[in-house]
Amino acid sequence: MSSMMMMDRGMMNPMGTMGSSMPAPSMSMPSMGACMVPRCTMKMEKCSGGMKIHCKCDDEMSCAMLQNMVRMMCEGMCSCCAMMNGMVMCQCNMAMCTCKCDMTKDGCTITCTSGDKACCEMVQACCDCMTKCMEAGCSCCVCFNNMPCCCGKC
């Protein structure tokens, strides 16, 4: 498995979210600005007050890239997008909670929590949904401020 995944910014709709109602560009059209994001293994789990996203990279270069991207962007809103065959299956925005990033030896952990009971339940429902999507074969893309920082599967 390659350690990088190409994300085409043309996949983003005008509202800044993944997915698009625009037709796909033809093969002769140049790329609309692509960015490379590290490919990693992801695991999502419920925790007290919300959820944790564990991103683990297989090699040092991907790990360093992931950690640098997360360090730069972790102050923004976190979102997760489950995709299958280029189509968005589910998108969860963590606007209802606070997300904190911690570096690990082989990647990072993103903890999204809320002190509000209803918001905590929403975050945990997002965790369940994203986990089921990944188990069914979807790739998950984690973004900060709608900028992808890593993609992977469970």
Q: Judge whether 39 and 150 are in contact, CB under 8 Å.
A: yes
- Specify the pLDDT at position 90: 93
Residue 46 in domain: yes
Residue 34 in domain: no
- Specify the pLDDT at position 15: 46
Residue 23 in domain: no
Residue 119 in domain: yes
- Specify the pLDDT at position 104: 95
From the CB of residue 56, how many other CB atoms can be counted at a distance below 10 Å? Answer: 19
Q: How many domains does the chain have?
A: 1
Query: Which residue intervals of 1-154 are DSSP H helices?
Result: 60-73, 117-135
Q: Which domain holds residue 44?
A: 39-153
Average pLDDT, the chain: 83
Taking only the tens place, the pLDDT of each residue in 58-100 is 999 999 999 999 998 888 899 999 999 989 999 999 999 999 9
Residue 28 in domain: no
How many Å apart are CA 127 and CA 53, to the nearest integer?
9
Residue 123 in domain: yes
- Specify the pLDDT at position 12: 45
Taking only the tens place, the pLDDT of each residue in 37-54 is 888 999 999 999 999 999
Cα dist from 154 to 7, 9, 135, 139, whole Å: 19, 24, 7, 8
Residue 7 in domain: no
Q: Find the largest Cα–Cα distance for the chain.
A: 51
Residue 10 in domain: no
Please say if the pLDDT value at position 16 is more than 70: no
